[in-house]
Structure 1
């Protein structure tokens, strides 16, 4: 329909409407007359519809109240009476995204679905949750999600527990997070950013239930809200629904929430912090140096975009001049950071990892000199254009790893809207980019450097130092604090705590009534398609090479892949194959110096990536197909250039560039350390699986702790190993990059295929053809239960096995069990009662199972919960309606929306894993026909697998050591 400016539609006045050419969309801004609530609409033909409601929630302290409310408001409301409607939706809707997030100054509740009925259901639950939560009825949700004292008997030690409390204990164990937070907290010390909206574990326990409720009353009102509506949506229908069911019940309040501006500093400020390392670790090369500048203003969207590009230009790759200067000066082991524009005063951050405290002055000196040199000499034009083109390609492709496009656009909209700027300014980037490009020869970026980096006194250097035994000291302090608190409690106080804990557990264990369950809106099986999506895919032959082609509308972007069989690599050099994938593109070639090469890639392509992939055989857990894949994407006019760059890198990279290769090793080691600290569940799961199959053992060698230790050894013994290292990289490349060892992948429209086909002769000319000698690998699959210690405050607990080993077969009903376990049994036992931030279960088609917890305060109790799952399944009972919900939840995971590039990847994945459409149809039909008895019968499978007793736990050294009898080996993860 046609909307008119200043007309009112179901209480919403249309303030503005404009065409968003870059998105092929219409943008609208509505204002709700009665409440002053804002609604921003982007209409287009995207069927993956997105809705978000958000509130300005600047924290007044570090108790984490915005974060705890974010967790709590979706745990029951006026209309939706179950204990956790959010979880009910996770297990029973067709959502393509469902979450809630706490930012430094706002809290947002985004959802997405391709199904219109489901979309309305989700919207209804979210709106009722934020405006009418059940948190006012009792304090048990606050206790569960925030924090509470735990005392089972009067004689027991007093403890803290709570989901957010444990989540933030994990966050405060990560030095990367601590370094970033240290800059934010101190650079904007007199604003809400001086507090932690997520919560500092030391302060979370100061939050009272009354303060919690007061915060919700203050900020969760339509007058302090903004809403976002995206996609192929009936806008009038949504406006009417929101007005009639929610906003019309409120009157306008004068809630003028403003984030104050931090007064500029007169000079650079220095602050310090500490993080924990084990008593056996050396403090050398473990300091973080983080220098942050307050930079940019949302009233100038061009400058915001330009600063993002500037960071990439001078710091974000091995050829970036400032990064190169810092690394050449030997300051630290790697450079990280970024341009953070999710806060009112954006932050330009330079983070040095693996440094030493005595390098602070040298860091400041080299940084300043390198920036001044750029200004004096003028920025390299190719470097500037490369970074601009890289950002432009990213904006135009709008493919963000499976996230709904509308959600990404929302983040760009809200960043401007929150700070009183044009909400569409960051989405209308054509003119901004043209202005930036035209300024390259006129000192545009040099002036930015002068304004925000050289002549900007509003900056802060944060030094984060390692301290042996720091975590143990913190734990001891917490115990002493709790002992003092307990000693001051009267018998009545202790009885009250015991009573509250018992009441909380009783609520957690009590099932929702049928009446409560019936309040949750649901879909039926009839709303679910029985069909599967088939992907365009065919094999062709060009120039004697097999081509795997996907005919897809890719908006004139060509997706290229060179796929080499990695089984030509000898077993002892497999990890060099992985290292090769990290090195290529970051060293010089015969034709290009490495800095010129990086610029050429960014100017002419959307990137060139190298990876050692490993495809499983869907029918045999020990069969797998390792492939070394070179991926590139380019506009269809640049296919030739992309292909030539790929071949240049593969055939003439210079493996004698010692310093560059050392830098790659250091950066990858640093990335793995960050992964161990922040994604310990994935690390533990991979380690666990490595004892179960040959494929998983290979994966551990190239992705897991084994590869991390390989990198540590190379760095520690780099000079002694250099000749061997260089020779091995060269040897592996010669074995791999061979025409007779190659398949080619292409995704694009047929007319683009013709351009691609014309570029193929260069492949045959450039790559030599020689006989391939494929290797048979044999890995020892010794069952070893491991405790992997870190200085984290929490654990990641993994247990699993292989059900085919015990004679069971794969069925789609396992996916329904996965939904039941993740969002019912495990959620209740490990998250709700145990206090872990998350828990997950995964069934593989080859028979491997693993369960992992995330930021878990427990260890033994969690393993017992895993073991008890079989008993839960034996007693499992569910109504027909409940079974339908679980089935719908399982189907949702099978039907995740795919971008064109993802469709191409999935088609190739199916090709190598030998998954057929008949297998997919069979699995889907098994999901749809799963019965209560099918689920109950899987109790035997789970019991059998848990008895295999494969355990890996990564986390707190003290807890693992205390339970060392569970493990065959206890060793430091790092």
Structure 2
């Protein structure tokens, strides 16, 4: 019998009172809301059949300044606690747990500590460490200085401010789009917690004292302010028993009683002090504000208007979807076709930051000086026009389909789907509303759909209510400024001057020596053993393998391979129509990305792009393109498998896929439309391509620093194999410069070229892939023969056989003989990377190198790059299928030094004697990577990719068995082998333009 069947509302279990039992029909679950008598701890358990259980300790953490106390606390509570007095229990867990998710996150109004596992004993190990961390942390001064901020002194007695959070936030304040979003929120909530940077402003972080930081924990980390979210199939009694036995007595002894007036109250308990801080008064009059942001590639200002829309609910989601759900939506289209900007602003749509005073904002980025008022006028006049003319039935149906689809699709983007449900529960719970408030979105939207159907003026009235009759608004301009970094650097220099005058350097040196001794101290195996872990012998030696079925349909001139993935997709069908692109001449490769990005946005069959987009949005969830770039792994197993279908011209090639997803009851009309799209693509709308070009150029320029690690990875790997060179041409620095070399005058010629390229791609033949549940697959399979014939699909042609050297001439400033490259851009943070060969996949040696990288990430690299070096992160990883070993750092104050530390780490690993216990912990961590569940659509994609690149379930199983059998001697040999390989390394750095370097430099 389930807990909620035995204990009804008002009943008690171990001093937990049942507050409510909620039927979460939309998610096939039950929500159980409980409150503890003496401590005030609140629990919400979403109970279902999911074996991936998740917990999260959540606290309302409300900042009154931008000192970053909440963010530094988030980093620090997991740096040792009463029961687990290690330097880094979090890292220990990361490297010896079978976790499927492990994180900590700071938000403007709360801090969350979630973790998940598929194994119950491991789950409670995680909960034990996390509970002790949040309620009983050590919070030493050394932790504060390491994670938050400190004054550092180099060998020449030069001072600098360092700290992991400090350096992390420098990178955030280097991002134009992020600063734009922050300034919009500042404007809408000027007298609240939301106008402060909960992560910390690097110019303000040094104002935080150690004592104030400790007080922050005392104020906000009490059990009465804790919201414990649970999810999954572990029985509620078992979870409450664990908490009651392990933590309630300690909490009662350490924290004062909560004194909650009514234990059965449906609304959460919030003490008066926190409730007062939570208040978020709106503006009392309209304002126009102008700010500056870093000019990192921005082509002009962000110009936006925002209106308050009241409480967060599905009605506002619908309104935003109608107005701007896709590029053909009425407001999006008017703004984008105005030529007043290069793209929609990063804050377009519905913003649910505050439960009772949310806002909607619309505007443009890339607005030239002098056009700001024209944009403000356009936004308001566009809304008036849409109101006066009414919203078309197609736009309404498109919005309904989009929301219906999004509510049904289960994704795994930033962790398990349970994180999405946690976010929904916390959005009300944190602000004093029942956790269930936002946990019925499908049912709530059904009510909206009935109102839409019964009242033709419903949508029009929403526009009137929230925009036309809503005179209170904020106009916001964020200008890119070349002086932004200079101004911030100047203020940092003033701070250092102050420290020069006030600090005693002898005392500072002593304090730093204590910190560095703390950081460099190696904990003994006995100390580390305080955190329990599973044994390798307890791990299942077989995996839940992805199954695919291969068939064929007849095309125009022969057989077309079809790959079927049978997955529980909740009535959604995913279809890929893939064409090889490795026969396109290398000289044309850099032109492919923009063509591929615009393919389904230029219209088809003689119809305008907006008509086509609206038609698609009424029938499908989405249609778009993706690339699948890779090679056959250089292993005997892969070659043998590929040989079995060599005559099909499939294995080890690179592809473009035109991909669609739709609800199963729309299968027939969706396949008919997809056939029309693929076979009758249009290439004659120059105006539309100019818009897409501007959007892509703006995105590349404004997001370079945000994606710095990605650019380094693509650049570094491009010298090793053909697929990596293709990826650099498609997405790397080479593409950055190429797409920004296009001018709008070239658009007509580009369209002609794209038409010829597309026709050539279609002529190469195709392969089909479908992911759906069993019933839907049966329906799709019946319709595929007609689809293949109507689309004009052809059998696959052989690969042209281009080699790596054929792509080198088209890689930007490609000089294979240069072993070090530096990319300079305006930024307050740095990034570094090193690449060298590793052992091929499916060998005992490759498995050992993987285990070594796990150990390095949790020990030497963590200690040298993050703890001592102050970077936000440092890691390494082998890509055995490509035979490339990568070592990277990010948000790094000393990226050039990190390159030296990479080699130093390998050298120290060679001198180490690895114990059985250490290797076992790393094997367990590596095993966890293998068993992390994918969403149904992700399983389908993974299965298709394995088919394309000659990988079978037997090979995946073989890799797992090799991992489970790695020995300490294997790991030691791996360290020696990689150190030898590293002598042939390539080094890459992204840093600020002010940094000196004599060698190859690329200026962004």
Q: Is residue 546 of structure 1 aligned with residue 546 of structure 2?
A: no
Q: CA deviation at 1:674?
A: 4.4
Residue 63 of structure 2 corresponds to residue 27 of structure 1: no
- Note if contact 2:875-2:888 (Cα within 8 Å) is conserved in structure 1: yes
Deviation at 1:479, TM superposition (A): 2.4
Match of 1:616 among 631, 634, 652: 631
CA-to-partner distance for each residue in 1:112-143, whole Å, 9 max, x for gaps? 111100111111111110000001xx301000
Find the residue that maps to 1:352 and give its secondary structure: strand
Match of 2:708 in 1: 680
**Equivalent pair of 1:59/1:192 in contact (CA under 8 Å):** yes
Equivalent residues in 2 for 1:85-484, closer than 5 Å: 85-135=89-139, 138-152=140-154, 156-248=157-249, 249-250=251-252, 251-253=256-258, 255-256=271-272, 257-258=274-275, 259-277=277-295, 285-298=299-312, 304-335=313-344, 336-337=346-347, 338-344=349-355, 345-401=357-413, 403-440=415-452, 441-484=455-498
Displacement of 1:535 in angstroms is 1.8
Matched, 1:581 2:596: yes
Aligned in 2, Cα 1:151/1:828: closer, same or farther, shift over 3 Å? Answer: same
Q: Which moved more, 1:170-179 or 1:943-952?
A: 943-952
Q: TM-score, normalised by structure 1?
A: 0.94
Tell me, yes or no, if the aligned pair for 2:410 and 2:935 is still in contact at 8 Å: no
Is the 1:612–1:627 Cα contact (8 Å) retained in structure 2? yes
**Separation in structure 2 between the aligned mates of residue 833 and residue 818 of structure 1, nearest angstrom:** 19
**CA-atom RMSD, angstroms?**
2.3
Deviations 1:877-919 (CA, angstroms, capped at 9, x unpaired): 3332222111101111122112221221111111112123333
Deviation at 1:770, TM superposition (A): 8.1
Return 5+ residue gaps in structure 1 as ranges: 299-303
Report deviation, 1:481: 2.7
Q: Which residue of 2 aligns with 1:54?
A: 58
Mapping of residues 658-737 of structure 1, within 5 Å: 658-714=686-742, 717-719=743-745, 721-737=746-762
Paired with 2:83 and 2:795, the residues of 1 have a C-alpha distance of 70
- Aligned residue for 1:970? 1001
Which residue, out of 878, 900, 903, partners 1:867? Answer: 903
How do 1:516-915 residues align onto structure 2 when only pairs under 5 Å count? Answer: 516-543=527-554, 544-590=559-605, 592-619=607-634, 624-714=652-742, 717-719=743-745, 721-738=746-763, 741-760=765-784, 761-767=786-792, 769=794, 772=797, 774-777=799-802, 778-780=806-808, 782-783=815-816, 784=818, 785-803=820-838, 811-845=846-880, 846-915=882-951
What is the CA distance between 1:160 and its match in structure 2?
Answer: 0.5
Equivalent-residue separation in structure 2 for 1:814 and 1:309 (angstroms): 50
Deviates more, 1:692-701 or 1:630-639: 630-639
SS of equivalent to 1:952: strand
* Closer/same/farther in 2, CA of residues 641 and 591 from structure 1, 3 Å limit: farther
- Identify the range of structure 1 (159-168 vs 182-191) with the bigger mean alpha-carbon deviation: 182-191
Q: Kindly indicate whether the alpha-carbon contact (under 8 Å) linking 2:49 and 2:232 is maintained by their aligned counterparts in 1.
A: yes
Tell me if structure 2 keeps the 8 A contact 1:150–1:158: yes
Asked if the contact 2:889/2:895 (under 8 Å) is kept, the reply is no
Deviations 1:371-401 (A, max 9, x none): 0111111112221221222122111122133
Give the distance between the partners of 1:666 and 1:653, measured in 2 at CA.
21
Aligned-partner Cα distance in 2 for 1:771–1:24? 44
Q: Mark the CA change 1:862 to 1:813 in structure 2 (over 3 Å): closer, same or farther.
A: same
2:967 maps to what in 1?
A: 931
Residue 301 of structure 1: aligned partner: none
Structure 1 residues 50 and 605, CA gap change in structure 2 (3 angstroms): same
1:609-663: per-residue Cα shift (whole Å, max 9, x none)?
Answer: 2112212211179995111112222222212222122222222222111111111
Q: Distance in 2 between matches of 1:120 and 1:343?
A: 33
Of the structure 1 ranges 24-33 and 309-318, higher mean CA displacement relative to structure 2 is found in: 309-318
Q: Residue 840 of structure 1: CA displacement?
A: 2.2
Report the more deviating stretch, 552-561 or 99-108: 552-561
User: CA deviation digits over 1:751-774, x for unaligned, max 9?
Assistant: 323311222213212316488474
Q: Distance in 1 between matches of 2:800 and 2:594?
A: 19
Give the deviation of 1:592 after TM superposition. Answer: 4.3
Contact 2:678 2:791 in 1 (8 A): no
Look up the SS of the partner of 1:855 in the other structure: strand
Decide whether the 8 Å contact of 1:802 with 1:849 is kept in 2.
Answer: yes
Check conservation: 1:183, 1:461, Cα contact below 8 A.
no
Distance 1:879 1:99 in 2: 28
TM-score, normalised by the number of residues in structure 2: 0.91
Kept in 1, the 8 Å contact 2:341–2:364? The answer is yes
Q: Is the 8 A contact 2:175 2:703 kept in 1?
A: no
Gapped regions of structure 2 (runs ≥ 5): 260-270, 640-650, 809-813
Q: Secondary structure at the match of 1:201?
A: coil
Instruction: Supply the distance in 2 between the matched residues of 1:770 and 1:726 (Cα, whole angstroms).
Output: 27
Distance 1:796 1:309, change over 3 A: farther
Question: Do the aligned partners of 1:741 and 1:772 also contact (CA within 8 Å) in 2?
Answer: yes
CA contact (8 A) 2:548 2:565 kept: yes
| Paired residues of 2:302 and 2:477 also in contact (CA < 8 A) | yes
Deviates more, 1:629-638 or 1:304-313: 304-313
The yes-or-no answer on 1:918 pairing with 2:954 is yes
Deviations 1:764-820 (A, max 9, x none): 1231648847434322274243211111101111111223599x9951112211211
Q: Distance in 2 between matches of 1:262 and 1:223?
A: 22
By how many angstroms is 1:327 displaced?
2.1
What residue is the counterpart of 2:266 in the other structure? none
